[in-house]
Structure 1
Amino acid sequence: MIYILYFVSLFMVYAFLTHRKQALFVSIFFTFSFIALTYPSGNDWIGYFIN
């Protein structure tokens, strides 16, 4: 859960600094791709957000 907050806050700061709507979509894409690649059981989204 700490990783989610860290990456979301990091990319939100990037989006506000650039003032581009494209940066927001890119940040969301990178955040969820990072979650999908680093979570051990792969597609267990519910277990990731509960724990």
Structure 2
Amino acid sequence: MRLVECGSIYSMYFLKEYWGKGLGTKLMDEIINILKNEGCKRVSLWVYETNIVY
């Protein structure tokens, strides 16, 4: 296992027809598990200041 102090998620985009289906949550959960397995202790998520929640 490689020790990495921090992982970053820079972007994630879904077409509008996929919004509200839980795909972002499932993908984030999988990404976090992968980073944990790589030894990451922290994860940062970049979002736009004007990010809209639907």
Which of the five TM-score ranges fits, normalised by the shorter chain?
A: 0.3 to 0.5
The structure with the largest alpha-carbon Rg is 2
TM score, norm. by length of structure 2: 0.43
Higher helix share: 1
Instruction: Give the structure with the larger strand fraction.
Output: 2
Higher relative contact order (CA 8 A, sep 6+): 2
